[in-house]
Amino acid sequence: MERGQVKKIQVLPKELVHKIAAGEVVERPVSVVKELVENSLDAGATKISVKLLRGGTEEILVEDNGVGIKASELSLALKRHATSKIVSLEDLETIHTLGFRGEALASIAHVSRFSLESATEESAPIAYGLKMQEGLLSQLYELPRERGTTVRVAELFCTTPARKKFLKRYETEWSHVFDLIQALALAYLDVSWELWHEGKLKFQCPATKDLKTRVIDVFGKDYGSQLYPFSEGLSELELEGFLGHPNFCKSNNRHFFVYINGRYLQDKLLNHAILQGYQSLLMQRQYPVVILKITLDPRQVDVNVHPAKREVRFANGQAIHSLISRAIQKRLKEAPWRQEVFNPISLEAEEALPLQMPRPSFQYSPSSTKQEGLAFKESRASYTQAAVQQELLPKPQVGTLSFLSLRVIGQLKQTYILAESEESLVLIDQHAAHERIGYEKLKAEFAMGRISSQRLLTPAAFHFSFSQAVRLKEASEALERLGIEIDEFGPSTFMLKAVPKLLAEANFEKLLEEVVEALEGYDRLDALEEHVDHLLATMACHRQIRAGQKLEQEEMQDLLRQLEGTPHGYHCPHGRPVMVDIPFRELEKSFKRVL
Ligand code: ADP
Ligand code: MG
């Protein structure tokens, strides 16, 4: 209709209502697969098979061995708002099933050529089926089938050509389905999964009790070797899963596998909590791999807020956020890769502990994971040989590299400390190391209540823009807790009176400038705790040892001594690695001394 015309108000025909509603739930093939597979899971299936033609645009077939649907209820299942999963609002509050709106099948059936066939325990080996096309329902028909349900969705969006135009290349649609099935496979271990495309089996895994086994089935051993188990039982919620090594990074968060009570989510709050948990271990725009299963009282979470149920709302989101990020922080602080570097989850007993196994933790550089990953694969082949000889060799120390046991060889380009361990050449970025040490010390002092400061003999004056000055005034109390004392001195001039002891030799002008810049980026200054990590990292960056500074042997040894006792000693607070470790075996290979 033309805008500005007066027209009669009328109720839309049912057919049209169905198609409009379908638009919310069914965006593309992957949304259909999600709804159908969730129905199979709700039906208690232990075997689910998904078959697609042309990325699901031509056909989607989902078969399960769940409880099935009675013949008398088949047509009801295709009605909007018909569901077997809830009967009252209270049910919705304590929901244990994935579905509850009773609209998926109806919506899908109205935008495709659809069939639903199902056998229950009682009817098997006979199943009953129904077809729907252009909104018209067929007669009930009979066919042979074991217990379970088969849904076929052909020619998706044949009745809504506008929506069809939005489909991407079928390879793209297919890749979304692939990602979804992998994500669901990580959550439902008791199900054996099959995924087919164009008549070929693309992914398959048997039921298992063990998440670790499933991770390896889904992503392979190399991927598994970068993940470390994580579990935390809190009174409000339980967490379980795997945290990826901070260097094993992706450029987006598609490898965040987060589930609440078995529901796979892409929830902003939870994703943010994860990143916060990794905080200073990551470089900017780098995302770790995380598998996180959250179990909590269903009353604490509203799942009915998103059309595709990808996001949820928490009764107390802030609390959940901080519980999760703190639990992750705590686990990462243990630097599990240090203890388990010789025993990552992918290695079975018989191939664990070869002496020359490259340390995956240092093999990956965040910028070139792909290539490095390949290198890792190759070298794994070679250390299987080493494993054969390991009986003859001294057992490596689990717990691996200790900074204390390193022998300093010298300084390279006044930037790196060169050192040797029993098995490798080690390069340490002196600035990054010093920064990490300072950061952890500042953090410890802050946690104790206050960062100890040192008065300046002659206070220094600094000028700021008007808005900066306002921020500084607002923040002055908070800054005191960070060890920075300032006094107002004229409209936008401040005197710096004291600085943290640890930064006594810093360039104060730069330090203050950057702190003010950081303050400008925060919404609320009263919540200093939220930003303290970032602020401290900014401050630590101003410590005295920088690149290009000559260090004496004693100073270098001292730096290593301090690193030894420092949490997260392998990364600077901005996430860059502090050290690179090159196994002698790799060197020998480079010189062709060994193959
Ligand atoms: P919802 O899942 O929200 O209940 P759906 O439209 O997805 O709504 O499904 C409607 C009903 O059909 C379900 O409540 C369930 O009783 C039945 N159903 C759908 N798929 C299956 C299946 N694979 N196995 C058993 N029952 C199913
Ligand atoms: Mg459903």
Per-residue pLDDT at 401: 66
- Position with higher pLDDT, 383 vs 96: 96
Residue 98 CA: which ligand 1 atom is closest?
2
Mean pLDDT of 337-349: 44
How far is ligand 1, taken at its centre, from the CA of residue 573, in Å?
49
Per-residue pLDDT at 544: 67
Mean pLDDT of 565-581: 82
Beta-bridge partners for 429: 416
How far is ligand 2, taken at its centre, from the CA of residue 379, in Å?
47
**H helices then E strands: how many in the chain?**
20, 25
Mean pLDDT of 533-562: 84
Per-residue pLDDT at 151: 98
Mean pLDDT of 228-238: 91
Q: Which residues make up the environment of ion ligand 2, defined by Cβ < 5 Å?
A: 39, 99, 104
Residue 67 CA: which ligand 1 atom is closest?
25
Whether 103 lines ligand 1, by a CB cut-off of 6 Å, is yes
Q: Which of 114-123, 520-529, 559-568 has the highest mean pLDDT?
A: 114-123
Whether 39 lines ligand 1, by a CB cut-off of 6 Å, is yes
Q: How many CA atoms lie within 13 A of 561 on its CB side?
A: 6
Per-residue pLDDT at 250: 81
When the pLDDT of each residue in the chain is averaged and rounded to a whole number, the result is 82
Is the pLDDT at 6 greater than 70, yes or no? yes
Mean pLDDT of 300-309: 85
Mean pLDDT of 437-448: 86
H or E element in which residue 84 lies: none
Question: Per residue in 469-483, pLDDT tens?
Answer: 888 888 888 888 888
Question: Per residue in 362-385, pLDDT tens?
Answer: 222 333 333 333 333 333 333 333
Per-residue pLDDT at 348: 36
**CATH of region 14-205:** 3.30.565.10
Per-residue pLDDT at 27: 86
Long-range contacts of 225-229 (CB under 8 A, 24+ apart): 225/344, 225/345, 225/346, 225/347, 225/360, 226/289, 226/344, 226/360, 226/364, 227/289, 227/291, 227/344, 227/345, 228/331, 228/336, 228/337, 228/340, 228/344, 228/345, 229/336, 229/345
> Which band of pLDDT confidence, cut at 50, 70 and 90, is reported for residue 393?
very low
- Position with higher pLDDT, 594 vs 523: 594
Ligand at shortest distance from the CA of 100: 1
Please answer whether residues 327 and 277 qualify as being in contact, where contact means their C-beta atoms are separated by less than 8 angstroms.
yes
Ligand at shortest distance from the CA of 79: 1
Tokens of 207: 């039921």
CATH topology of domain 395-595: formyl-coa transferase, domain 3 (3.30.1540)
Phi, psi of 329 (to 5 degrees): -55, -45
Per-residue pLDDT at 475: 82
Per-residue pLDDT at 379: 34
Whether 105 lines ligand 1, by a CB cut-off of 6 Å, is yes
How far is ligand 1, taken at its centre, from the CA of residue 87, in Å?
14
Q: What is the DSSP letter of 395?
A: P
Domain residue spans of the chain: 14-205, 211-338, 362-392, 395-595
Task: Pick from 25, 36, 39 the residue to mutate for probing ligand 1's pocket: most ligand atoms within 8 Å of its CB.
Answer: 39
Is the pLDDT at 355 greater than 50, yes or no? no
- Position with higher pLDDT, 375 vs 594: 594
Per-residue pLDDT at 372: 32
> Which band of pLDDT confidence, cut at 50, 70 and 90, is reported for residue 524?
low
This model's pTM is above 0.85: no
> Which band of pLDDT confidence, cut at 50, 70 and 90, is reported for residue 528?
low
- Position with higher pLDDT, 484 vs 398: 484
Statement: 211-338 belongs to CATH 3.30.230.10: yes
